Amino acid sequence: MTTTYDSIEPGYRIDGPQFPVSRESIRQFCDASLDYNPLHLDDNYMRGDFGKTNFGGIIMHGMNNFGLITRMLTDWAYPLGATHRRLETRWIKPVKPGDVIQPAGTVRSKTKSTKARWVVIDVVVRNQHGEPVATGEAQIEFPPQQTAAGTQGSAGKETQ
């Protein structure tokens, strides 16, 4: 069945891509994001304590999760003519080289505003043990409902 705004119900699932994390992928993210924080580069530094936390080695950028969630959302939205409008995330657990992470989304609700239709999606990134490493929520905008005369929002303009 073709997915449309009307066919999407709360509970609808979106599966994102698996992403194997390695020292190389973390280094590549440093070069791509210009974020060269030693958290992601320097094992000696990461053997030290951060307050009550000890990571024991380098960790992946939290924003790598953010980038993967975005990829899942846009790959889903573009073919539907929809637009990714918002993403809020929290990091739950550090991700380390050797982990394999995968984002997923579950539609929580749908809402119509004056000029658009919205889908609110709960997002989560899990590691290979099924543990959440990041959670959040996203909003995708769908254009106004199409009618026989065209898009409701623009139909008036055409007759002026």
Partner 1 sequence: MAQEAFETDFWKDAGRRRVWDDIVPGEPRETIPYVLTLEAIQKYCRAVGENHPLYFDEAYARATPYGGLIAPPSIHILLMFACTPADDWMRSPGTVNAGQSWSYNIPARPGDTITLQARALDKFVKKDRLFVVHDNVFFNQHGKVICSGRGWTIRPM
**Least distance in Å: CB of 28 to partner 1?**
5
Inter-residue contact 69 to 136 (CB < 8 Å): yes
Residues in the interface with partner 1 (CB under 8 A) total 42
Site string for partner 1, 29-58 (x = CB under 8 A): xxxxxxxxxxx-----x----xxx------
Are the C-beta atoms of 33 and 63 separated by less than 8 Å?
yes
What residues between 80 and 139 interact with partner 1 by CB under 8 A?
81, 83-91, 136
Whichever of 89 and 127 has its CB closer to partner 1, that residue is 89
Task: Scan for tokens 């739950």, then name that residue.
Answer: 92
Please select the residue that binds partner 1; options are 3, 4, 25, 152, rule is CB under 8 A.
25
Rule CB under 8 A: choose which of 8, 21, 58, 61 binds partner 1.
61
**DSSP secondary structure letter of residue 143:** P
Q: How far apart are CA 32 and CA 19, in angstroms?
A: 16
> By C-beta, is 9 or 113 nearer to partner 1?
113
Separation CA 140–CA 37 (nearest Å): 32
CB of 125 to partner 1, least distance (A): 12
Least Cα distance to 39 among 57, 63, 51 occurs for 57
Question: Which one, 90 or 115, has the nearer CB to partner 1?
Answer: 90
Query: CB neighbours of 20 closer than 8 A, spacing ≥ 6?
Result: 99, 100
Largest CA distance in the chain: 69
Closest distance between partner 1 and the C-beta of residue 50, in Å? 7
Name the site residues for partner 1 (rule: CB under 8 A).
17, 19, 25, 28-39, 45, 50-52, 61-64, 66-68, 70-71, 74-75, 78, 81, 83-91, 136
